[in-house]
Structure 1
Amino acid sequence: MSGPAAPVQAAPPRPVRFGILGCADIARKVSRALLMLPPGAATVAAVGSRSEDKARRFIAETGLPAARPHGSYESLLGDADVEAVYLPLPTSLHVPWATAAAARGKHLLLEKPTALCAADLDAILAACDASGVQFMDTTMWIHNPRTAKMREIVADKDAFGDIRVIHSMCGFQASEYFLQNDIRVKPDLDALGVLGDVGWYSIRSILWAVEYELPETVIAHRHPVKNQAGVILACGATLYWADGKTATFNCSFLTNLAFDVTVYGTHGTLHVTDLVIPYEEKYAEFSVASKSNFVKPTIGWDPLPTKHVVTTDLPQEALMVQEFSRLVQNIRDAGGRPEGKWPAITRKTQVVLDAVKASIDKGSEPVEVAS
């Protein structure tokens, strides 16, 4: 008599086949992330550059031997084996190549800043919507499990209360070579400068803290630092909400490395000092003070702030690509629809950035934030 039939093992999911459109330095980090994913998540099928030799060198240097080199962006988009495109090109090239990728039915993981203005981003999002493809930007820290833990803290009304003030500072000391040659200081490549680069993270961190409630008004700080071409190297702004919440941020290519965010509630304070890139890949921490008072007679604090530590097996950029791939697989294999929260979050970040840029251009006049 035969025994019970062995259980049927589910077939592993087919990995999402990525094409990397451009060989920028940040693409090396994302390539490494793709290689770290568990089987069945994603693979790099192709790399496209303006020359095939450059694509071949990138493939060899990043350990992607199975990837096919393409000597033009058009050739990569025409590769029928590519399902999703990671696009790290300069911001000025995002509209033509992102819309072309979407029109070919390629899911789109787009490097930030995603566009030079909201109107350009809307063209990209409309192309994605028309083709039914998933869109996500590459704000990697959103996918770190620390971020979810911080959300639990600030959402606790008893321990944290209502958020009233936020401050964010993102910057690094750029080298002289960077300040003369990097695409982020070139008006024809990345005209938003520091505002589009690390300023994007500051704005996103503020919006994240308030669950993406748009401010009513922004006022840029006076005297932003610009290079001779007019590209912003350091700037800041204050954001205002109708209920009295305020947020300030500064971003700079001219300071020591800083990725600080502090969120102040009526009962609690959360502080993180390495938001965008944790001090260590698989270990991230933040501190929280709740219901703080002075020890009488004003000689200390009670209770003391607590440190929270969050660990992860995969770094945040790998978790980002894993989540994007999961969404693509849901569309491809289960008839799902693109997840709409990611383009919505991107657009809110962009419209606040637009308002800050408009205030800078108007000499720090108040600018209302478009919906």
Structure 2
Amino acid sequence: MAQEKVVRFGILGCAAIATKLARAIGMTPNSSHYYTEGLSVYAVASRSVDKANAFASANNLPPEVKTYGNYEQLLDDPFVDAVYIPLPTWLHLEWALKAAHKKKHILLEKPPALCVEDLDTIIEACNNNGVQFMDGTMWIHHPRTPKMKAFLQNPDLFGDLRFVHCTFTLALSGKFFEEDIRVKPDLDGLGALGDVGWYCIRAILWANDYEMPQSVIAHPGPVLNEGGVITSCGATLSWQDGRVATFHCSFHSCLTMDLSVHGSKGILNLHDFAMPYEESSASFFSSTNNKLWEMNTVWGPRPSEHRVTAEFPQETFMVQEFVRLVKGIQDSGGKPDSQWPSISRKTQIVLNAVKTSIQEGLISVTL
């Protein structure tokens, strides 16, 4: 029986997050080189071949994996179908464009660009070259996510959306604020807003069925380092019909990943929205028609827990969806799917509006 060729991945850069994706690619059905060989990643490139070899060794990649000492060599490999790009954000435009022109499908780490104009250029290049684009927001692909959406879309249990609040913070210190690329204005100039704030904005848009807010205004008290990079901030998003959402992101507070979605009849809560506490399962809590009882001294009912099992880590589900779209283009000559680029663009627009609000003295930015 003939071996069925599937999507061959190249990893463009050996950042720490690439370790997570190398594992995910290896665990994803239909992403290996051949089903029978099980080659998880086809090629790895770094700024030196020694770094690429060290990455391959540290991640137990088989000896068949190609290693390259610069990114161009990987993109010139005709057997590479798709690339995962975990480079610093300021390099995304250059290397995503080069990958698109080489007809490589692109899974790009978030935030995908420093500004909306750069992201538009990337998406246009992908469309013009017939390659799929997707950003690396993992939680949205977890099987828990559609289960939560089903609750939000139930008019009897949740009602109409009223308010969303999201928090993603990390307690970082020491060398992080001196050396990490996320606090360097010339590498990842969006700081905490681009790193953990991206997840919050995506969650808010997801809860609102990706309907864009009318206005965005940053909260007082944003924290910026000496280079002008945001290390802590928050914002309020408002819709014409009265819906409101708020978020807070920071590199200065204890690890928190809270999401709360309020409706006219029910509420959804979870404390690990961006990264589940466990890989094999994840839960969320909901309650409906809460009331005050016994002379307003107690209230309920208590929230119900809904647990969703997961066969793979959430990053594997992301790769699986990406592979599905790539295979649709490869096998049937289809066009790149527009859903994920559109969602990326909306997230980027809101993110940059928050940054503008901070830079312009906490003004309200109309979208």
Give TM-score, length-normalised by structure 1.
Answer: 0.95
What is the aligned-residue RMSD (CA, Å)? 1.2
Instruction: Identify the residue that residue 35 of structure 1 maps to in structure 2.
Output: 26
User: Is the aligned partner of 1:18 residue 2:6?
Assistant: no
SS at match of 1:99: helix
1:143-170 per-residue CA deviation (whole Å, 9 max, x = no partner) reads: 0000010000000011101101100000
Shift of residue 38 of structure 1?
Answer: 3.1
Deviations 1:62-85 (A, max 9, x none): 111221011101111101110000
Does the alignment pair 1:351 with 2:331?
no
Q: Is the 8 A contact 1:41 1:325 kept in 2?
A: no
Could you tell me how far apart the structure 2 residues matched to 1:77 and 1:41 are?
18
Aligned length: 360
Give 1:273's aligned residue: 271
Deviations 1:86-129 (A, max 9, x none): 00000000001001000000000000000000000001001001
Check whether the contact 1:41–1:322 (CA below 8 A) recurs between aligned residues: no
| 1:51 corresponds to | 48
Distance 1:142 1:31 in 2: 19
Q: What's the CA shift for 1:334?
A: 2.0
Within 5 Å, give how 1:296-315 maps onto structure 2.
Answer: 296-315=294-313
Q: Counterpart of 2:99?
A: 101
Q: Displacement, 1:39?
A: 5.3
Evaluate the alpha carbon distance shift between residue 289 and residue 61 of structure 1 in structure 2; reply closer, same or farther with a 3 A threshold. same
| Structure 2, unaligned runs of 5 or more | 34-39
Q: Which amino acid aligns with 1:67?
A: V
1:198-213 maps to which residues of 2 (within 5 A)? Answer: 198-213=196-211
Displacement, 1:282? 1.3
> Of residues 338, 363, 366 in structure 2, which corresponds to 1:365?
363
Q: Which amino acid aligns with 2:45?
A: G
Q: Distance in 1 between matches of 2:263 and 2:120?
A: 34
Q: 1:219 aligns with which of 217, 220, 224?
A: 217
- Report matched runs for 1:1-371 at 5 Å: 13-38=4-29, 43-65=40-62, 66-369=64-367
8 Å Cα contact 2:217-2:236 kept in structure 1: yes
1:41 CA drift (Å): 5.1
How far 1:300 sits from its partner (Å)?
Answer: 2.1
Query: Structure 1 residue 305: deviation in Å?
Result: 1.1
Any unmatched runs of 5+ in structure 1?
1-8
> SS state of the match for residue 250, structure 1?
strand
3-state SS of 1:343 partner? helix
Question: Contact 1:166–1:261 at 8 Å: present in 2 too?
Answer: yes
* Identity fraction in percent: 53
| In structure 2, C-alpha distance between the alignment counterparts of 1:41 and 1:329, rounded to whole Å | 13
